[in-house]
Structure 1
Amino acid sequence: MVKPYEPEFEQAYDELVSALEDSTLFEELPKYKKVIPVVSVPERLIQFRVTWENDKGEIETNNGFRVQFNSALGPYKGGLRFHPSVNLSILKFLGFEQIFKNALTGLSMGGGKGGSDFDPKGRSDAEIRRFCTSFMRQLARYIGQDTDVPAGDIGVGGREIGFLFGAYKAMQNNWSGVLTGKGLTWGGSLIRPEATGYGLIYYVEKMIEKASNGKETFAGKTVAVSGSGNVAQYAALKLIELGATVVSLSDSKGTITTTSGITAEQIKEIGDAKLKFKSLEEIIKSPTFAGVEYSAGERPWTKFEKLDVALPCATQNEVSGDEAKALVAAGVKFVAEGSNMGSTKEAIEVFEANRASGVWYAPGKASNCGGVAVSGLEMAQNSHRVRWTSEEVDEKLKNIMSNCFDSCYATALKYTAAKDGELPSLLKGANIAGFIKVADAMFDQGDVF
């Protein structure tokens, strides 16, 4: 079931099972225990060869994958990742997380994930187009708007989604909402690029409101953000809009920090440069970044003596146990993941151990579900052949994130014990709430009996 040579998947599995076992769920409703060995095995694993021609006329070969993990709540839904690190363990971890994340949105979506070990960095548009065509030639037979609806992820942005969609349409002679993250003129949804970052902030807004009994907001708070892709950029922009001070961003090579706060103008420049695969080290040479410090090979979590909020928005396991201790020592009260499984097991243990001191941690399956939520809204718009305004989509996103928080909070109160004055565990609440919804559907459909 869980293979020791699949460390990322094993970590995601252990997080779910630990949360369930450290609650009263199995004691009150022992039937749910039999769901674990079923839900933790993918319904289908697809692996295929992708051969394509580079600009020199040479053949290159990559591995392609799709993990169709669970369809109890709807068509498989989850992104495609193009990155050299892609392997089955990472995709199984992401697909497993996606099952329960999608359940927390309240929309009709199952869980899946896919991608390739292809690296788009340094490739021409023509090479990326040829790769996407070859990749879709293999994937097309396994997906469809009522079967499996992939989206983008690391290395798969609007350009790649366009090439993939065009290849699917040509091969299948079928225009349908088979991919999300599409361009606005051909079936895409407004607010989709912003959705994960905005949704993260809407979730943390609810955390702050609940913890302070409605007395506090983001205004005046100091926030450390990691990453510099879509999630980090739009989370930072929304934070600035709400009156917070964003003191960091990062990429795989290093971190930029400034106590005076990163500006919206700087974030726009970073966004434009990242489309050209420039590093932050290159970007901050611009005059716009006067006064911003760059630290090569470092993450932002140990760079500050005083912080209110920490938002990991880069990749998995980007906050270590020692970094979590540094955040707690800096006075952080709210930690929420914009990335998938952004904190190591040791880091999570540090955050959870400090709930009595007012530290509140939200796992990615809850706090970053805004992206897939708007993907679900894009699917709905495609099915009805309509397009909602940005205000309509944003309002629906806010409601989804609010309901997600309320579900996590209420479930934590129901099935877990908290000491006097201790905040309930959103980690346990999110895992239990998502699990119960999926498990009930699996019982109803005869997947478990």
Structure 2
Amino acid sequence: MAMVINMKNDNLQAAQAYVNDVYETVVERNANEYEFLQAVKEIFHSLVPVLARNPHYMENGILERIVEPERLISFRVPWVDDQGKVKVNRGFRVQYNSAIGPYKGGLRFHPSVNASIIKFLGFEQIFKNALTGQAIGGGKGGSDFDPKGKSDGEIMRFTQSFMTELSKYIGSDIDVPAGDIGVGAREIGYMFGQYRRMRGSFDSGVFTGKGVGYGGSLGRTEATGYGTVYFVEEMLRDKGLSFAGSTVVVSGSGNVSIYAIEKAQEFGAKVVACSDSGGYIYDENGICLNTLKRLKEVERSRICEYVKEHPQAKYVEGSHGIWTIPCDIALPCATQNEIDENSARILVANNVKAIGEGANMPSTLDAIDLFLENEVLFGPAKAANAGGVAVSALEMAQNSSRVPWSFEKVDKKLKKIMSDIYRNSVKAADEYGQSGNLVAGANIAGFTKVADAMIMQGII
């Protein structure tokens, strides 16, 4: 028995040394890319017991290979504004890993976009996509273009210029972009139109998130928000809890947030707060979803307008303070690193029971550690917000067959996928001695699927 224990300890030490060496190299090669390094560190930490038990992953250099994108594309995007002035933005696409399928991941238009952001998102996308059980690899893209305050004409001219360059690198069996922050149905429509114009063919499978009238899927708009709630409901159910009767805070007010609110309310929760980049609203009576949808989806207004119609509600400048509101369930659905260690401490002190990450990496590593230490149920982004890309893959399936599905069929498949992701994450965590840690479970389940495919395909 002593020899077995020593062997296990030796294997763990060797795996930890390997992880440390690879991570040091990643830091040297990607200095100052903080978001990317954060994502790599979080995943690598989970994989030590996997590598110790499966040394062939180390022998095949899987970490060294998986952390390097297969292709990182950067390009200039010139366009002309309504005053006739030439503007120039940067465009990016990272084609990270195609071991299990064509690259798949959204496009983000936001001033914060840079190589680090795109690489972190693309790296996370590898494992998120693998968790869905569908044949899609990891990719991501976008631009530092800010669509806020731009006219439809300006957005059309920018997206057409962006697509003129990006079209060289994408295709239904190569790389299939979708939407993300700042990229909705309008932007997807303009880009798809430019792609069709340039290629001279109707390749509906080259984009997802399209309008339903030209190959889009019912349920895609709702998918990420619904999927987050479906995942959290599974997590709660295992502990004898549910959304019913719970108080919920949701950050953000885009598609993910709006439809997370909608589904949480359907499940009997009272959602009392949401936000945008300017601030947050708190309505102790519960957010009026109809007002929120009209303001954000139709009028494209700021969230502060909500209180004009609901004077009992309160608007507070600055979105960070939303996590001071006591709640049973917190759903961060806005952006990366919005919950830091201090916000996590406040949530824990206010007896939060569960966190479901609807955005990409919305909690810092210190915040995640606090949640796990205090036994807060924690649904990590790569698992909890996989609903969007899952339904994107279902849209690809519909495009391939040229047969559209009903909303009910798509939603049923989404529920099943999110349930499977939860169960597989639980199983992987249990298998590697980290029961209850869904961060580790999701990382392990996603990694092993991709790593096994990479080994079977040789050194490429």
TM-score, normalization: structure 1? 0.94
Query: Aligned to 1:51, which of 62, 78, 81?
Result: 78
- Cα deviation, 1:326-347, whole Å, max 9, x if unaligned, reads 1111111111100000001110
1:295-444 to structure 2, matched below 5 A, reads 295-305=316-326, 307-355=327-375, 359-418=376-435, 424-444=436-456
CA distance in 2, matches of 1:257, 1:162: 34
> Is the CA contact (8 Å cut-off) linking 2:35 and 2:116 kept in structure 1?
yes
For the pair 1:242 / 2:264, whether they are aligned, the reply is: no
CA distance in 1, matches of 2:313, 2:294: 14
CA distance in 2, matches of 1:270, 1:31: 54
Corresponding residue number in structure 1 for 2:308: 286
CA distance in 1, matches of 2:100, 2:139: 12
The number of residue pairs the alignment matches comes to: 430
C-alpha deviation, 1:296, in angstroms: 0.7
Letter in 1 for 2:210: K
CA distance in 2, matches of 1:379, 1:148: 12
1:32-431 to structure 2, matched below 5 A, reads 32-33=57-58, 34-176=61-203, 177-212=205-240, 216-272=241-297, 276=300, 278-281=301-304, 283-287=305-309, 289-305=310-326, 307-355=327-375, 359-418=376-435, 424-431=436-443
CA distance in 2, matches of 1:44, 1:210: 41
Corresponding residue number in structure 2 for 1:26: 51
> Is the CA contact (8 Å cut-off) linking 2:371 and 2:377 kept in structure 1?
yes
Letter in 2 for 1:410: K
CA distance in 1, matches of 2:115, 2:297: 32
Letter in 2 for 1:138: E
TM-score, normalization: structure 2? 0.91
Letter in 1 for 2:218: L
Corresponding residue number in structure 2 for 1:421: none
* Divergent runs of 4+, >3 A: none
CA distance in 2, matches of 1:395, 1:120: 34
C-alpha deviation, 1:301, in angstroms: 4.5
Q: Is the helix fraction higher in 1 or 2?
A: 2
> Is the CA contact (8 Å cut-off) linking 1:310 and 1:335 kept in structure 2?
yes
Distance 1:314 1:180, change over 3 A: same
C-alpha deviation, 1:293, in angstroms: 0.7
SS in 2 for 1:284: helix
- Cα deviation, 1:76-127, whole Å, max 9, x if unaligned, reads 0000111111100000000000000000000010000011111111111111
CA distance in 1, matches of 2:150, 2:253: 20
Q: Structure 1 stretches of 5 or more lacking a match? A: 419-423
CA distance in 2, matches of 1:237, 1:345: 29
> Is the CA contact (8 Å cut-off) linking 1:301 and 1:319 kept in structure 2?
no
> Is the CA contact (8 Å cut-off) linking 2:337 and 2:364 kept in structure 1?
yes
C-alpha deviation, 1:308, in angstroms: 1.1
CA distance in 1, matches of 2:426, 2:434: 12
CA distance in 2, matches of 1:165, 1:447: 35
CA distance in 2, matches of 1:382, 1:114: 22
SS in 2 for 1:248: strand
CA distance in 2, matches of 1:447, 1:68: 17
SS in 2 for 1:412: helix
CA distance in 1, matches of 2:290, 2:311: 13
CA distance in 1, matches of 2:89, 2:126: 27
- Cα deviation, 1:201-241, whole Å, max 9, x if unaligned, reads 000010011122xxx32110111110010000000011111
SS in 2 for 1:85: coil
Letter in 2 for 1:401: M
CA distance in 2, matches of 1:211, 1:201: 16
Question: Which piece of structure 1 moves more, 253-262 or 102-111?
Answer: 253-262
Between the aligned residues of both structures, percent identity stands at 54
> Is the CA contact (8 Å cut-off) linking 2:252 and 2:333 kept in structure 1?
yes
Question: Which piece of structure 1 moves more, 131-140 or 142-151?
Answer: 131-140
C-alpha deviation, 1:14, in angstroms: 0.3
Q: Structure 2 stretches of 5 or more lacking a match? A: 1-25
C-alpha deviation, 1:300, in angstroms: 4.7
CA distance in 1, matches of 2:358, 2:95: 23
SS in 2 for 1:96: helix
Aligned Cα RMSD in Å? 1.3
> Is the CA contact (8 Å cut-off) linking 2:246 and 2:328 kept in structure 1?
yes
CA distance in 2, matches of 1:428, 1:399: 21
Distance 1:442 1:240, change over 3 A: same
Letter in 2 for 1:272: E
Letter in 2 for 1:292: A
> Is the CA contact (8 Å cut-off) linking 2:280 and 2:322 kept in structure 1?
no
Letter in 2 for 1:117: D
C-alpha deviation, 1:60, in angstroms: 1.2
> Is the CA contact (8 Å cut-off) linking 2:36 and 2:120 kept in structure 1?
yes
C-alpha deviation, 1:350, in angstroms: 0.4
> Is the CA contact (8 Å cut-off) linking 1:412 and 1:429 kept in structure 2?
yes
CA distance in 1, matches of 2:382, 2:443: 8
C-alpha deviation, 1:295, in angstroms: 1.1
SS in 2 for 1:61: strand
SS in 1 for 2:220: coil
> Is the CA contact (8 Å cut-off) linking 1:226 and 1:300 kept in structure 2?
no
- Cα deviation, 1:248-279, whole Å, max 9, x if unaligned, reads 10111111112221122233233335x52x22
